[in-house]
Amino acid sequence: MQLPQGFRFAGVRCGIKAKADRKDLTLVVGDRDLVAAGVYTQNKIVAAPVVLSRSRTPSSAVRAVVINSGNANACTGQQGDRDALAMTNLVAKACELDPSSVLVMSTGIIGHKLPMDRIEQGIQSAADQLNDSSDNFLAAADGILTTDQGRKLAFRCEQIGDQKITFAAMAKGAGMIGPNMATMLGLVLCDANLSKIDAQRALRVAADASFNSISVDGHTSTNDTVNLLCSGTASATPLSEEHLARFTEVLTDFCIELAKQIPADGEGAHHVIEIRVGGADCDADAKQIAKSIADSPLVKTAVTGNDPNWGRIMSAAGYAGVLVRPELCQLKINGSMVFDKGQPIDFDEKAISESMAADRTVVLQVTVGDGPGTSVFWTSDLTTDYVTFNSDYST
Amino acid sequence: MQLPQGFRFAGVRCGIKAKADRKDLTLVVGDRDLVAAGVYTQNKIVAAPVVLSRSRTPSSAVRAVVINSGNANACTGQQGDRDALAMTNLVAKACELDPSSVLVMSTGIIGHKLPMDRIEQGIQSAADQLNDSSDNFLAAADGILTTDQGRKLAFRCEQIGDQKITFAAMAKGAGMIGPNMATMLGLVLCDANLSKIDAQRALRVAADASFNSISVDGHTSTNDTVNLLCSGTASATPLSEEHLARFTEVLTDFCIELAKQIPADGEGAHHVIEIRVGGADCDADAKQIAKSIADSPLVKTAVTGNDPNWGRIMSAAGYAGVLVRPELCQLKINGSMVFDKGQPIDFDEKAISESMAADRTVVLQVTVGDGPGTSVFWTSDLTTDYVTFNSDYST
């Protein structure tokens, strides 16, 4: 595990979560000022930490991010705003930083006030433990999880221009996942040297093709946040225009690697569904069609049952609200054609069903016309385990 | 059971459905020309019968509607178009009518060609049995069902001006229910005397507050159709402008009575969820918020678990994409306030959970601001039975 230079990490348990063995507070601190970019939920009901962090990015003077899990600090009124601010102030005090240089994220149940006494202890304890070891990085990745079955991590090294850039990232998310700018918590760290505006632009592009192209249940949460933090230690000079394009490509691909881990760990999921839409009038139309298919409970349950019930897929494409040319429509399931030029065709239902059962990923390739628009989207199927789990979450 | 005059009915089994005791073909014939209005799916992938019936309404010269269940005749290409036309031609021949005076609906699995030999026999058999009895009306209501657990019917008499108007209606739908103009099959019969344009206007208003305000799984089908047929026998003269407004009111209320039976019979449903949104900028915004709440699997599963997990409800209101003023937001579950002016408030979680468990209908009242926009929407909860049922439907 290679980590970018310029960061220290800690993940501790302070007692927000009920289960005694779960970490619930994470702290990441830069050795010097970090360039920071952010994408945040488009939900109109916004959690207090999102409001605060949004006001502090993009920035070229961020020093730390504090994240608690187990409580979303959402729908908590003015007390919630005060608590989010207090979290950043506590980090500033414990680490001797400018209070406005600290970002904050929260995730967990909505509508409960934060246990600030525990959080205060947790922040102090995390500050005491900060270091740049792999163990601490993993502890930090643990501290942000909620219903996730395991850590979501990605690592990469890439030479771009004169910069050998090292990326490391952590994410959380398994339910309440619906794409709208950002759809979970994610923290992407690297040592690239670039401006805050360039970092923000690159993150927007990357998020659109990754975190905004996944769903579990189509429910955009109040707390979605992805922050990109760049320590700049890879080079003394910023990336050139030409190399920024390459940086954005690499960041996008890296974010896709991280984002795909979320539907793969979708609550109760048996399958990941990869939806490839082509032939739309533009990419945005293709994405709307892909999202419509991804959000259909009938498509999801058909995949759960390894059932090539393709009519549900074409029907969901049809109600996405954008242009679809039925006479040009085509659908392949795991590579096998089941519908072509608007006509049903003979196919081996049993063979396709077996191929669905054999693989955790099911690929749906939908052509909706002859336009240039394409999109790739990932979601999970819908199982009785999802329903059972979410029928009994807070009570 | 009082039926409007001027109609004859039949419902038969012709062998489209697998189960031997299920009727699958319905015929309704007017004694003379009927005024007919229609609202149809907004899905871009449209079934052949929808294309044909849409081209024939509104009309003042409709004589019959033929409906088959068990096969949707959707995604069936040009053969599907020919088969839909053939169904209306077969009815015209069997009943000695103008072929263009016949409407057609189909419902059932997508992407399979109609068994036209069976349908031909069924149409002949139905034509032979036509009469105006209650038994035949009920047989007709049986012939349109698919996964429904029982008939969906509504009856009403209302004096409007000089017309004593009798309404009778049948509907089907339990899954693939998502509101977009019309969301299932419905046939509303009455003996009112009014013009085709007035009938179409009244049906549009009524459908918007009824069939377009329900969902089960948010999946708008390829075959949604509601037709209103008026025999005109209630009066020799058409309804006046003033009385048309009253007719629209009565029709709207009547359609709501019918439409609510659909989420009540939602596949696997334990609860009906009635969502009342107020304080939005306009009615359309309120409806968008109500639909966002209705379509959230997290809201649905919370209701399944009798869990007043109100954060999920406010979060779904927030991502509807229209204006919400968090500081004015309020939420009541079954009449009990749980969130007020953007602040969580203390409430008796156990008492609300018990009230949810005690009643099949759960009422969510959401205020999102101080605007005039309101909406009422009905959906079903999401249970493991829905998932099990839909994981094993076609194979």
* pLDDT tens readout for residues B306-322: 999 888 898 888 888 88
Cα(A73)–Cα(A76) distance, integer angstroms:
6
Known catalytic residues of B are: 183
pLDDT at A182: 41
- The predicted model gives B133-144 an average pLDDT of 96
The whole-number pLDDT of residue A48 equals: 92
pLDDT, mean over chain A: 88
Residues A318, B44: C-beta atoms closer than 8 Å: yes
Residues sharing a CB contact under 8 Å with residue A122, sequence separation 6 or more, in sequence order? A12, A13, A14, A15, A16, A24, A25, A68
Q: How far apart are CA A388 and CA B6, in angstroms?
A: 51
In angstroms, the separation between the Cα of residue B318 and the nearest Cα of chain A is 4
A108 compared with B137, residue with greater pLDDT: B137
| Residue range B75-88, pLDDT digits in tens | 888 999 999 999 99
Is the pLDDT at B253 greater than 90? The verdict is no
* Identity of the amino acid at B128: D
Is residue A106 over pLDDT 70?
yes
Q: Which residues of A8-45 are buried (b: 16+ CB within 10 A; e: fewer)?
A: bbbbbbbbbbeeeebbbbbbbbbeebbbbbbbbbbbbb
CA distance B305 to chain A (A): 4
To the nearest whole angstrom, how far is the Cα of B229 from the nearest Cα of chain A? Answer: 27
> How does residue A68 score in pLDDT terms, banded at 50, 70 and 90?
very high
Identify the sign of the CA torsion A325, A326, A328, A331.
positive
Q: What is the dihedral of CA A357, A362, A368, A371, to 10 degrees?
A: -150
Is the pLDDT score of A221 beyond 70?
A: no
How many CB atoms sit inside 10 A of residue B181's CB? 18
On whether A267 is known to bind a ligand per the annotation, the reply is yes
Confidence of residue A71 (pLDDT cuts 50, 70, 90): very high
Q: Give the mean pLDDT of A235-244.
A: 87
Model pLDDT, residue B393: 53
Q: Is the pLDDT of residue A45 over 90?
A: no
Residue B7 sits at φ, ψ, to 5 deg, of -130, 150
Residue A208: phi and psi, rounded to 5, are: -65, -35
Strand partners, A164: A159
What is the number of residues in chain B? Answer: 395
* Paired tokens of B300: 């649905």
A172 is in an annotated binding site: yes
Q: How far is B59 from chain A (nearest CA, A)?
A: 27
* Contact between A317 and A368 (Cβ < 8 Å): yes
**Length of chain A measured in residues:** 395
Which member of A41, A107, A166, A183 is catalytic? A183
* Residue A312 burial (CB count, 10 A): 28
Q: Which amino acid is at B260?
A: K
CB–CB of A75 and B219 under 8 A? no
Which of A7-11, A250-254, A285-289 comes out lowest in average pLDDT? A250-254
Computed over every residue of chain B, the mean pLDDT equals 88
Query: From residue B25, how far is each of A264, A322, B91, B116, B197 by CA, in Å?
Result: 44, 34, 12, 12, 29
Q: Judge whether A395 is annotated as a binding position.
A: yes
**CA gap B258, B264 in Å, rounded:** 10
- Is A384 in Cβ contact with B297 (below 8 Å)? no
The mean-pLDDT minimum among A168-172, A283-287, A351-355, B306-310 falls in A168-172
pLDDT of residue B225: 78
Say yes or no to pLDDT of A208 above 80.
no
Looking from the CA of B212 toward its CB, the CA atoms found within 13 Å total 19
Residue A332, annotated as binding a ligand: no
**Nearest alpha carbon to residue A173 among A165, A164, A185:** A185
Residue A379 corresponds to which tokens in the numbers above?
Answer: 């979601």
- Return the higher-pLDDT residue of A138 and A228: A138
Q: Is the predicted pLDDT of residue B351 greater than 80, yes or no? A: yes
Bridge partner list, B367: B278, B330
Angle (deg, nearest 10), helices A48-55 and A77-95: 50
CA pair distance A374, A284, nearest whole angstrom: 8
Assign A110 a pLDDT band (cuts: 50, 70, 90): confident
- Residue A363 has, within 13 A of its CA and on its CB side, a CA count of 10
pLDDT at A256: 86
Which DSSP string do the residues of A54-103 spell out, in sequence order? HHT-SEEEEEEEEEEEEE---S-HHHHHHHHHHHHHHHHHHHT--GGGEE
> Any bridge partners for residue A382, and if so which?
none
Dig out the tokens for B69 from the structure: 């269940």
Count of alpha carbons within 13 Å of B11, Cβ hemisphere only? 20
Tokens coding A114:
């934060």
- pLDDT value for B372: 93
Query: Which regions of chain A does DSSP assign to beta strands (E)?
Result: 7-12, 25-40, 59-71, 102-109, 152-160, 163-172, 185-190, 214-215, 225-230, 272-280, 330-333, 336-340, 343-344, 361-367, 373-380
Res A101: pLDDT: 96
Q: B131: annotated binding-site residue?
A: no
Instruction: Tell me how far apart the alpha carbons of residues A182 and A95 are, in angstroms, rounded to a whole number.
Output: 29
Asked if the Cβ–Cβ distance from A217 to B297 is below 8 Å, we say: yes
* Residue A330 clears pLDDT 80, i.e. is over it: yes
A-B C-beta contacts closer than 8 Å: 239
Mean pLDDT of A347-375: 94
Instruction: Reply yes or no on whether the pLDDT at A98 is more than 90.
Output: yes
Residue A51 pLDDT > 80, yes or no?
Answer: yes
Beta strands in chain B (DSSP E): 7-12, 25-40, 59-71, 102-109, 152-160, 163-172, 185-190, 214-215, 225-230, 272-280, 330-333, 336-340, 343-344, 361-367, 373-380
> Which residues from chain A sit within 8 angstroms of residue B319, using beta carbons?
41-45, 178, 180, 219-220
Helix, coil or strand: residue A247: helix
Residue of A nearest to B307 (CA): A395
pLDDT in tens, B216-225: 776 766 777 7
CA–CA separation, A66 vs A95, rounded Å? 12
Distance of CA A95 to the CA centre of its chain: 28
Distance of CA A5 to CAs A51, A163, A281, Å? 29, 13, 44
The pLDDT, as a whole number, for residue A28 is 95
> Which has more pLDDT, A178 or B11?
B11
Identify the CA nearest to A379 among candidates A391, A393, A361, A365.
A361
Whether A96 and A103 have beta carbons less than 8 Å apart is answered as no
Q: Which residues in A266-285 are b (16+ Cβ under 10 Å) and which e?
A: bbbbbbbbbbbbbbbbebeb
pLDDT at B181: 39
Contact A366, A331 (CB under 8 A): yes
Nearest by CB to residue B395, choosing from A110, A220, A349, is A349
State the pLDDT at residue A23: 96
Dihedral angle computed from the Cα positions of residues A314, A315, A318 and A319, in that order, rounded to the nearest 10 degrees: -150
Residues of A in contact with B44 (CB under 8 A): 317-320, 322-324, 326
Token pair listed for A115: 């246990």
- Structural domains of chain B sorted by starting position, each given as residue range(s) with its CATH number in brackets: 7-264 (3.60.70.12), 272-391 (3.10.20.340)
pLDDT in the model for residue B43: 74
Residue A337: its chain B contacts at CB < 8 A?
none
Could A307 and B393 be called an inter-chain contact, meaning their C-beta atoms sit closer than 8 Å?
Answer: yes
Best residue in A219, A271, A300, A350 for a mutation probing chain B (most B CBs within 10 Å)? A219
B85-90 LR contacts (CB < 8 Å, sep 24+): B85/B52, B86/B116, B87/B49, B87/B114, B87/B119, B87/B123, B88/B52, B90/B66, B90/B119, B90/B120, B90/B123, B90/B124
Per-residue tokens: A230: 């760049």
How many CB atoms within 10 Å of residue A247?
A: 25
Residue A315 to residue B175, Cβ atoms within 8 A: no
State the smallest CA–CA distance between residue B362 and chain A in angstroms: 15
- CB < 8 Å to A75, chain B: 311, 314-315, 326, 339, 342, 344
Cα separation, B364 vs B173, in Å, equals 23
User: Are A301 and B77 within 8 A, CB to CB?
Assistant: no
The complex's ipTM works out to 0.72
What's the CA gap between B362 and B377, in Å, rounded?
12
b/e burial code for range B105-139 (CB count within 10 A of at least 16 → b): bbbbbbbbebbeebbbbbbbbbbeebeeeeebbbb
Stretch A176-184: mean pLDDT? 52
Q: For A43, which residue in chain B has the nearest alpha carbon?
A: B319
Asked which of A180-194, B34-48, B111-125, B353-367 is least confident by mean pLDDT, the reply is A180-194
Residue A393 has what pLDDT? 53
* pLDDT tier, A210 (very low <50, low <70, confident <90, very high otherwise): confident
Give percent helix, percent strand, percent coil of chain B, each to the nearest 5.
Answer: 35, 30, 35
3-state secondary structure of B30: strand
A320 and B76 within 8 Å at the Cβ level: the answer is no
Q: What is the dihedral of CA A192, A9, A74, B295, to 10 degrees?
A: 70
At B114, the amino acid letter reads L
Higher per-residue pLDDT: A177 or B150: B150
User: Each residue of B262-298: pLDDT tens digit?
Assistant: 888 888 889 999 999 999 999 889 998 998 899 888 8
